Amino acid sequence: MYNIQANESGTRSINVSDENLSTIRRFSLFQLLIDSSGIITEQSLDKLKLNIRSLLTTPQGSDKALLDLCIDVIYHRDMKALGLKNLIALYEDWNAKNPEPAPAE
């Protein structure tokens, strides 16, 4: 279990599990999320929420892990742009330490 800071003062945080990070990888949720400026804003968070909402309407989107990610992290009441920035940083670090297994042939 990981903990990300959700506000500047550090008084709010969000718990993120390995399963949440694995779900982000499986659905490629951060791919093409941030524009060329590299700045993460509330619009970036809104875009992520809309992408997930679209996924939930597909047969693949009825995945329990995706719903858990939404409830526990993405739609958490404290999630703001800073929280998303920290979530992306955590995911990049986690992804580097936990490479995706090669597909079996």
pTM confidence score = 0.91
The string of pLDDT tens digits covering residues 77-104 is 999 999 999 999 999 999 999 988 766 6
Average pLDDT along the chain: 93
* Res. 105 pLDDT band, cuts 50 70 90: low
Residue 34: what pLDDT?
87
* Planar angle of CA 22, 26, 29, nearest 5 degrees: 95
- Other Cβ atoms less than 10 A from the Cβ of 6: the count is 22
pLDDT at 15 over 90: yes
